[in-house]
Structure formats: C-alpha cells, structure tokens
Amino acid sequence: MYYTNWLVGLKNRACIRKANKTRSINWKSFMDICNNNTTSYNRNKSEHILSKLLWKKDYKIIKKIGEGTFSEVVKARSLKDGKYYACKTMKQPISSLEQANNLREVQAMKRLNPHPNIIQLHELIFDKESGILSLVCELMEMNVYEFIRGRQQPLPDSKIRLYMYQLCKALDHMHSNGIFHRDVKPENILIKQDVLKLGDFGSCRSLYSKPPHTEYISTRWYRAPECLLTDGFYSHKMDMWSVGCVFYEIISFSPLFPGTNELDQVTKIHDVLGTPDSSLLQKFKQSRAMHFDFPPRKGSGISQLIPNCAAPSLSLLYQMLAYDPEERIGARAALQHAVFRELRLAERRADSLRRALGTVEGGESSGTPSSVDHLWHTPRQGRRQQNIKHVAPPPIRRNASRYPAELPKINVAVPAPQITFPVSTVPALTITHQRSLPAIVSKKCHSRLAQPRDESRQSGFNNCYLPPLDRKRGGY
C-alpha cells in the first residue's frame, strides 16, 4: 500500500514538472496574433471616427453592408429627411478637400449626374483632421449578381430586356459624356424595383485619353479580347463586350467566360466564339510586345449554350460579343436594336402624354424632369437600325471641346510614350473611329498571359452590396 501511494505521488509530481516546463514559443503565430489585434484595433478606431464624423453631418450608421480593397460601405440614415443612404468611405486618407474633389470617381459622378440609370451622388463628406472621405449615395436593394444567385426559374424575357435597355442607356450616357467605365460586371450593376443603375466609377477613364491604357483593369471574366491580347490598346467598346457577358449571365445564371487566368480566359473565348481571322490577330500582334499564335478552332456558338434564347436577343448578344472591337455594336446603336422596339414605343407614348399634360396645365414645365420622365425619355439622336448587322458607336467627338481633359486621379503614373494610332475605315451609318489598332514598335516587356492573376479582388463599390467573399469571380 505504501509503495502504491509513493508511485502515484511520483507520477503526479512528474506531471506537474512537465506542465510547468517552459514551452518553446511559436513566434510566427505570436506575431500573427499581434498583427490581427493591431488591425482590429485600427479598424475599430476608424469605425469610431467615421461614426462620429457622420453623426456631425446628421447621419446615423445602421450597419456595414460591404467592404472592398479600397473602400467600405455602410448603410446610414439621414437625421434630416429620414431616408437611408449608402455611405462609401475610402480607406486611403485624403489630404485636402481639393484632392477629394479631384478624385476620378467623384469627378465622373458629378459629370454624369443626374441620370435615371446612373447611381446618384447625394453628398461628399470630408474630415481634414483624420483624412476620411465619404461618398453618400442613394441606396439600392441589391446588385445583379445577388439578384440572379440561386435562382432556378429563368427570368421573363420582358424583364431581361428592360434591364439590358437601362444598362445600355447608362453606357450611352457615359460614352456621350466622354467617359467609359472599364469594369462593367453584375456586382457593379444595382437594381431597385425594376430600375437598374450603374455604379462603381473608380476605374473609369476619359474617351479622349490616348492609349496605351492600364492593361489589367477590367475584371477578367468580363475583359474584352483587345484588353487580353494587346498592351493596353483598347477603347470604350470594351464596355459593350462586358455588357454582352452580363446579358448572357442574366439569361443563363452562369458566367460565359469564367477563365482562371489570362491564357485560360482567351481559351474559353475561343471555345465559344472560335479563333478570329488571321488579319485581326495580326492587328492585335502589332500592339503587343510578345507575339502569340492560336491554332484554328471553330467555336460551339452562343446559341448552343442558351437554346431557348429568342432570336432578337441572340442577334444583339452576338453583336455585343464581336471579337473585333471595330465590328462591335455601340451603346447608342444597341438602343435602336429590334429587341428593344416595345420599350422605345412605350417611351414615346409616355413622352407624348407628358407633353400633352404639360400643355393642358399651361405649357411645358420648366426645371428638371422627374426620374420617371428621364426613364421614359426617348433618345433623339441615333438612327433606327433595321436589318443592319453592324452600326458604328455614337458621335462621341462632339463633346471633345467640352471635356478635353482626362479625369484626374490621385496617384499619377509615369506618362506613357506617345504612340501614333493608325486605323482602317469601317463602313457604318455614323463613323466615329476612323483608325484601328496601331502598328507598334516591339516593346521590351514580358507577356502576362500565362501568369495567373489574383482572384481575391473585390468590387470597389457597389453602393449597396458586395459579392460574398467566397465567390471567386475573375479579379485582377
């Protein structure tokens, strides 16, 4: 008995000594914990400062509704009018109010507002002491990705046409005012009660800026071929390619070209559309430092992927997804497509009724029309497209004297060399671009086609909601 108690005591003392021994410290885990604590502290501090700043401006934060790489979005309630707004706060500190007003996104929203299909900027809030800049915008219900996610039954054709018509109107307004978006995707297209609005203008660019532009700007799944196969020689027609990809996604509830990297993205485009003519590839090669070759391939065709799509919608879809940007339909011409005939007639009837009511009440009303009047206002410029395969984009050069300069930005990059940009003429109703892709002297740079890109990019600002973090959409 004595021996047994002694043995148990010995084991207990051994366990105590083992527990009290100094353990080796995992310094990597320790530093990660410290960094997480510091990040959490800084985040809480910035949220507290933002809450105080918005409270001073008579806004009360309700909840956080999204976060991106460069900004975060909260839902706020105005204490003045009781309405709810989406407040986008930049993560990068701003040094002055002048710098805030010169932001490319702020300049674009001021130039494009008001328009019924462009997200509206309500107020600009800047705190000089903390450098916090917040854009107070109208709050929408959801974005298109959230709208179609998880749906089993296809959307009615009438609703799809309504959404695409409004999206084309938004882009026509942008292009007519000398701006192209460069990041059209479902996450940046917002809807509320069947009204569609385009948001997130952080990547926009002036139509009158000379190429080469930034190469990896558009989200990969919606990136046009000229963005993938040239060193930044693209134009506003890249927006129409993205619209075509969104059009397909709204119909089928799945992305059309979900590439995992740049090379896979081109491969998926060729699987559906086939390889283009050698003359077009040669034109792209002249605008890229590293040459490429693709084996001839006949694509499966879009009609095989969506066999139940109506013929007019399929016709417009093919024109939006034309491989050659010069052959791709423009936003103004797309509005005149046969698929939107009923919507155009409804606009004209509403416009005639509004004018008749104004005459009865004593003449045309002065001031700014309501949002409904804007929505049903018929575009006066542009021509009706009747059985025409390709129509040139709107006459964008008419505003060149009004907006001659590029939109400003904070971080000024080293200016690119001035390169001439000669192009061939394309027959069309209204000729805007009289030049094509340039013959460029080979540059000493490495191709990025085969390099996988980071899939973690989130939408900078969708004004209301951001996509879930687990969805790997084509990022930078």
Q: Which residues are annotated as a binding site for ATP?
A: 88
List, as residue ranges, the binding site: 88
* Identity of the amino acid at 457: R
Q: CB–CB of 459/200 below 8 Å?
A: yes
Q: CB–CB of 207/181 below 8 Å?
A: no
Is 183 marked active-site?
Answer: yes
Q: What is the Cα 278 distance to its own chain's centre? A: 31
Phi and psi (nearest 5°) for 114?
-90, 145
Tokens of 440: 């460029």
Q: Show the 3-state SS of 15-77.
A: HHHHHHCCCCCCHHHHHHHHHHHHHHHHHHHHHHHHHHHHHHCCEEEEEEEEECCCEEEEEEE
Helix (H, G, I), strand (E, B) or coil at 243: helix
Q: CB–CB of 58/457 below 8 Å?
A: no
**Taking Cα atoms as reference points, which of 13, 465, 433 lies closest to residue 238?**
433
**Taking Cα atoms as reference points, which of 346, 337, 354, 339 lies closest to residue 378?**
346
**Taking Cα atoms as reference points, which of 136, 125, 137 lies closest to residue 94?**
125
Query: How far is residue 366's CA from residue 383's CA, in Å, rounded to a whole number?
Result: 28
Query: How far is residue 88's CA from residue 91's CA, in Å, rounded to a whole number?
Result: 10
Tokens of 470: 């687990």
For residue 273, count other CB atoms closer than 10 A to its CB: 21
Q: What is the Cα 314 distance to its own chain's centre? A: 23
Phi and psi (nearest 5°) for 337?
-70, 155
Phi and psi (nearest 5°) for 137?
-125, 170
- Among residues 127, 183, 200, 324, the one annotated as catalytic is 183
User: Which residues are catalytic, by number?
Assistant: 183
